[in-house]
Each structure stands twice: as C-alpha cells, then as structure tokens.
A and B are shown apart, each in its own frame.
Chain A
Amino acid sequence: MAKSFSIKRQPGFATIAMLCFFLLYLPIATLVVYSFNSGTSIATWEGFSLRWFESAWNNQQVMEASWRSLRIAAVAAVIATACATLAAIATTRTAPYRGLTFKYSIINMPLLVPEIVTAVALLILFSRIKVWTGYSGLGYLIVAHAAFCIPFAYMPIRARLESMDLSLERAASDLYASSFQTFRYVTLPLLWPGILAGLMLAFVISLDDVVITEFVKSGGQDTLPTYMLGQLRRVVTPEMNAISTAFLVLSLAIVTVFFFLSRNPNKNNE
C-alpha cells in the first residue's frame, strides 16, 4: 500500500513546500527569539531577558499608539461588521435583482483599488474637510478603517449565509413566526459564528493597516504600525522586536479563534 504508485505525488513538491513553510516562519521566529535578548543588539544573542518588553511597556509613545490602535480597530470593526451583516443579508439568497451586481462591485471595491491610491484620495478629501469643519479627531481614521474593513467582514458572513438552508427560515414562517421573529430566533443565532468571524477579521485588518493610516492621521495620531514605520528608519533596538512579538501574539490569538469559528460552517453536518 505505502510503496504503491501514488498518483498524487510530484517529485520535489513536498521538499519545496517544506522549504516554503520553513522560510515563512524563519524570519518571524528570529524576530520573536531576539525580542527576549538581553543585549542591545538584534543580531547577537546575549541571554534571555524580558527587559525589552519592560522597556516597551514603559515607553509612553508605544503605549499611546497601541491603545489608539486598539480603540480604532474596535470601533471600526464593529461599524464594518454591522454594515457588512446587513449588506450580506441584502445580497444573498435572492433571485438576481436590479442593482445586485452594483452592490457586489461596490462592496468589493476596496479590495481592488491599490491601498496607496485610496490613501491619497482620503488625504485629499479629509484635508479639505478638516479645514472646513476644524475637526481633526480620530473620526477620520475610524471612518476610513471601517470602509476598507467592510469587504473583509462581509466575506465570512456571506459564506455562512449561503451555506445556511433557506428552508429553515421558511419553516419558521410556516410555524407562525413573523419576519422579525424569524430573524431573531432562526437567522441571527445561526449566523452568529459568521458575524463573529467577520468581526475578528475586520479587527485584525484594521489593526494591521499602515498605508491609509499613515496618510489620513493628523499629528500625534500615530497607531502602533505607523509608529513602528517611523522607528524603522532609525537604529533599531530589540524593543521593536518586543513590540512586534506582542502584536504577533494578539493577531495569532484572534486568527486562531477565527480559524475554529469558520472551520465548521455547518454544525449539523458533523
């Protein structure tokens, strides 16, 4: 059995794949390892220490930027997910109607337009609005983030909806549920994992954004990524590694939850 001719095997493919996985994780692993370096060098290992985490923790700028990142990501993700949920319900499980393709293309547009162009466009628009209104708070960043997070939140919610059997909602209305009751007791509970997955995806995407934030932010509105971008131009200390490691762990935790949420789109298929 084991030695028989495997039709799926292609010589060298497994080796390249393993090399690929190795190369994908090598830089990240190095980065994480050196965040625990006790020396000031990011190239020579001088022993284990948490001093760089401590130093990042005590760095006012880092903490402010992190807190700002999290706030923006939280608010933007909630807005984006709410919009995406409603839009997903409006665009799935229906006979084609006029405007449906239009909706699809608009919702997916942020995925197609190069980020740098969107960033430039928002810079132009928001700089005008800032002059007119005098407001220069975090609102601009939140609106910008919410807009480009919508397609990401939309994807898992839509996938979940499409895998949901329309006859469940029919059954509910057959059993005397009004359309609101149907949504409340059937659609929403079944859609919930998709919504949660969308929320997390949107949160991670917002947290990761560099380009649009870099162009839209006003003075003193650095998020963690834009702060790091600024620091990378200078001499880098393992403090950057420590910040990156913390950031990585957070993203990894969210992505892991997302993975388990979206693994079984249909609980009853098990």
Chain B
Amino acid sequence: MTDSAQDVGEQRQKKDVRDRWLLSAPALVLILAAGVGPLLIVVFYSFLAPGSYGDVKLEFSSEGWFNVLFTRDIFDETVSLADAHFLIFWRSVKLAFATTVLCLIFGFPTAYFIATRAPHNRSLWLFLITIPFWTNMLIRTFAIQEVIRSEGIVNSFLMSIGLISSPIQMMFTDFAIMLGMTYVYLPLMVLPLYASLEKLDFRLIEAGYDLYASRFGVLWRIVIPLVKPGIIAGSILVFVPALSAYVVPRVLGGGKNLMLGNLIELQFGQGRNWPLGAALSVTLVIIVLFAMLYYVRNASKSGGSAHG
C-alpha cells in the first residue's frame, strides 16, 4: 500500500517517455528514411563496381575509392595520382577557407555594429541581414553574376569613368566563385557572431579601458576571446556549405572551375561512375565531420573559460 504511490509514479514516467517516443516517431522516421538512411546506401555503393550506363554492378570493388586519389591509364594500366582530383580538392579547400576569412572580415564588424545598437533597433538591423539569407540562393547567385559579368554594372562603371578600357573578365574564375560564396554565406557568419556579441558584458570593456587598454587592445584581448565560440560557430557554418557548394561554382565557375560538389555531380551525370561519386561523397562527409568535431571540442573549451 505504501509503495503503490511510487509505483504509480514510475508507471506515469514510463508512459511519459513512451508518449514522447510516439510523438517524435514521424519526424525521426521521415528524416531517417529520406535524409540519413540513404547515406548508408552511399557508403555501400562506394564499394561496388560501376555499371556501364550509370548505376552500379552488384560486385565488390575498391576501384571507386582507388579512383578518388589515383587514375589508371586505359591502355597500359599504369597508375598515377589523379591530378585533376587533387586540383579540385585543393580548389575547394582553398576557396572555402578564403570565403570563411572574407566573411569573418566583413561579418565581425557588421555583427559588432548590430550588437552595439540600441536594443529596440537591433532586431531591425538583424532583419536586414536575414532578408538576403531567406531569399533564394540561386537568385542571389544570379544577382552577383549580373553585377560582375563583362557587361555588368561593375565593368560598365569602371569603363565609364575611364579606369579600364575593356571589361575585366571576372566570370568563370575562382575569384568569381569566392566572391559569390562570400556574398551568399555572409549572413551565416553574422548571425552566430551577433548571438555571441549580444551576450557580451560591456562592463568588461569598461574594465579594460579602466586598466589602460587601447581600443585595439580591448578588441583583441577582451572582445575577441569572449566571442570565440561565436567566431568558431560562424566559421564552421560558412566553411561547411562553402566546401560542398554546388550552385555557386556551377553558375559562376562556368563548368571548368569545378569544386567538390560539381565533381560529385559529374560522376552521377556524364562521368557515369557512381562508385567514385559515392566515395567522393563519403570523403566530403568525413571532412565535414572533422570540422564539426573540431568545433564541438573548441566551443566547449572556450565556452568553459568564458563563463568559468
């Protein structure tokens, strides 16, 4: 008799957890079926042999993974490093990194500017940052293309003031891709930076000035260390999609300046080498996972020192 109230409590708790599983089931099933689950198929496919007209043959082959790094000469079977792939890997990492740095250079002052506005004005400035973020990425890429193309407003302007006599070729270069990605992913840098800066206790800055720090000293020794989690979060949020970008390099790179995303697409399209495409996809996921892991470890570390 005295124990039954406790039993009832335990039953209720079990029922609560069961109900919570039932409620989350639709979302979990949908994501597992059409988001996460298929990734396992990709891993599986990366170990199969390519079919003659796309798709795969159901036999084990490490050729897909082999082809990520090496090429085999069709005639004499000699193995050499896949220079084209290395070039694309290198371009992807280089452009993603440059994009991240550019976003940080422009994004940090912008986030700082918003965070130091009067509280009732901040949401409006933030809104101005988020509008481009929610407008179609393709449209924004298209808009950038209109600006930098040979007959675009930049070249027209420069020619009209006589600075250049013939248009600068910006389209279909790595520069165009970098510019486009910076434009497209900038809000992803500003938002987490703003979230960190908004929580910054400005009395610490007062204390810094009180202790004879210069403006730069305060920025470098107080503000930046305190918002480091935001900087890391923003950098990851930009780096990851930039590394796996598909639309921007396709539109602004013009088919010859490929990035990883385009290389993967190629294997499922004209390349007809699904196992190689699958292996490249898995490689990309692994790189992203490492970036995430780095973020999680650093965010928890600096979070601890900032509040502890």
Contact = CB atoms under 8 A, between A and B. Distances in A.
A binds B: yes
Interface of A: 5, 7-14, 16-17, 19-21, 23-28, 30-31, 34, 41-44, 79, 82-84, 86-87, 89-91, 94, 97-99, 103, 106-107, 109-110, 112-118, 120-125, 127, 143-144, 146-148, 150, 154, 204, 207-208, 210-211, 215, 225, 228-229, 232, 236, 240-241, 244, 247-248, 251-252, 254-255, 259, 263
B132 A109 contact: no
Contacts of B147: 26-27, 30
A7 B268 contact: no
A21 B143 contact: no
Nearest to A110: B35
Contacts of A117: 39, 42, 244, 264, 281, 284-285
Contact of A240 (B39, B142, B153, B264): B142
Nearest to B281: A117
B178 interface: no
Contacts of A225: 136, 138
Interface of B: 16-17, 19-24, 26-28, 30-39, 41-42, 45, 55, 106-107, 109-110, 112-114, 116, 123, 127-132, 134-140, 142-147, 149, 151-153, 156, 183, 186, 202, 205-206, 209, 215, 219, 240-241, 243-244, 246-247, 250-251, 260-261, 264-265, 268, 274, 277-278, 281, 284-285, 288, 292
A10 B112 contact: yes
A43 B35 contact: no
B28 A208 contact: no
Nearest to A95: B13
Given A114-B244, A116-B281, A232 B35 contact: no
Contact of B26 (A23, A82, A110, A148): A82
A207 B134 CA distance: 10
B123 A146 contact: no
A90 B20 contact: yes
Contacts of B45: 124
